[in-house]
Structure 1
């Protein structure tokens, strides 16, 4: 039986398989096909996951398929804006892999296309659906943190040469920067929990271990929030460490450091931090990431005609923060106001 929403995927790389599984198993969606610039790659991916669908010979063939109601972008970010603009202009809802684009012009291009076409969007800052993040968000809603005083987030994940995206992700032309290629997850997380950032001052350092990088793989930024709090962001994508993603939130009522909580107001008998067991954001492997709940959420948004909390209308701000950090780092830490105008 034909399902309600046909889904086409642009790109057949590492992350595309997670979307194939998520859409394959959702009761309202089916995979219509995949386009890859590498002939045969899409067909192999479909076969791997037991899906019968088309291997499109071209982008035009994909966009000419009337069955397609949702387009998921899993291509490198240098081609993402024009592909997603075309998808929105042809009336398709869109799933946006990160980074949205390599520059602010590209991000604005996607934003305006979605706005003008009145289609739905979701950006795969996928940790918003991670169980630890969901628990922290609920604790925050319950008042455990109170008014934010200080917040920080870290993305520490040295790029591995065996990752399929490695050859292009280490280049400035297609990877962009430490924050654009990877640290944007931390930028999104700090906004998600601590609010909008008004100003940044950042520094970066060039490659020391992996000399294939053509941009600085390590960047740290001091932040001023619109709510008066201050904070820090860092992105470290070379070195010798396992994947680590820190989120630390210090407030007037309590503090949450990853999955550790301290609040004398809410837990008066506590002598120190207590830890809640959960699925932590502790792996860079895409199979560990919560794409299934993200896609479930997105279909609910489409069905109920509501915007996702990770729609382009919100997520563009995470990219704006990354661009401000890069601008400051390029100017020896000069303070930069974050530009949210689209």
Structure 2
């Protein structure tokens, strides 16, 4: 573990019942040959630089979202990884949420037919984002989509099974939670390469319980969260409800981090790319930056970014 507060680090290790070396110098940790995988889970503005340093040191990477706050950081990290050929996993942990995995399989198996619309949301009135907290600071957090809306955007692209080619977005700032240095609520309209459309919203200004809603419309059915209307059930008079674990908790302890780490380790041992590698999710990362650019410039932004 590398931290600027070794006392806190020791307490965290004890809380989780583990023993580990604790460093206060990143270069020394990266020089340790016993360190094979680096989990980058520092504040957002440090992710890209620290991940690039780890890649240059030959360490495999699990990078907490967002992987970068701007296009230059993203390109620098991309080049560092390409030059060293380390394995990477971008921490879109909801890829391992049981409902989302079921939804992906239903779509792949043709339950809704050809997808023409995907709608997702990330609404999280996180109690930690009080005035002065780094989560509310633009230079550190970036934006509401870079903070948490990225999960909803990644889910939309994954379920649509198509790259995003254009975004248009609008943001709200100054109405409620005025201490945010960036728009705390943003709505984005997406156009996919497949011809499908999407709508993704992110809010940390909301006053409500956490919500992560999903709708997928196809030419042979519709999935509304865990309720399915499909050509596969002729004669149905109501949605078929699928009992499963929904992505309806904003608590970190409820997020499926362990399967992602296990997947990364398996890919390292088998010398193959992860399902959510840096290169494989580049379209999502660029779309996040495109959404922020659209909010600032007031118009549509096409991808890839230049």
**Which of 50, 71, 80 pairs up with 2:38?**
71
In structure 1, what is the equivalent of residue 249 of structure 2?
Answer: 283
* Unaligned 5+ runs, structure 2: none
SS at match of 2:212: strand
SS at match of 1:322: helix
Deviations 1:156-179 (A, max 9, x none): 11121378x981011101111111
Deviations 1:224-282 (A, max 9, x none): 1111111211111112111101121100121111111111x211131121110111000
Give 1:47 shift.
Answer: 1.1
SS at match of 2:139: coil
In structure 2, what is the equivalent of residue 86 of structure 1?
Answer: 53
In structure 2, what is the equivalent of residue 335 of structure 1?
Answer: 300
Mapped partners of 2:7, 2:228: distance in 1:
49
Q: Would the aligned equivalents of 1:160 and 1:166 in 2 still touch at CA under 8 Å? A: no
Mapped partners of 2:157, 2:78: distance in 1:
18
> What's the TM-score once normalised by structure 2's chain length?
0.96
Give 1:151 shift.
Answer: 1.1
Alignment of 1:172 onto 2:150: no
Alignment of 1:319 onto 2:285: yes
Mapped partners of 2:44, 2:247: distance in 1:
23
Q: Would the aligned equivalents of 1:201 and 1:335 in 2 still touch at CA under 8 Å? A: yes
In structure 2, what is the equivalent of residue 135 of structure 1?
Answer: 102
Mapped partners of 2:154, 2:224: distance in 1:
17
> What's the TM-score once normalised by structure 1's chain length?
0.86
Moved more, 65-74 or 199-208: 199-208
**Aligned pair count?**
305
Give 1:207 shift.
Answer: 3.5
In structure 1, what is the equivalent of residue 199 of structure 2?
Answer: 232
Following TM superposition, the consecutive aligned residue runs of length 4 or more in structure 1 with deviations greater than 3 angstroms are none
Q: Would the aligned equivalents of 2:47 and 2:67 in 1 still touch at CA under 8 Å? A: yes
Mapped partners of 1:260, 1:137: distance in 2:
14
More RCO (CA 8 Å, sep 6+): 2
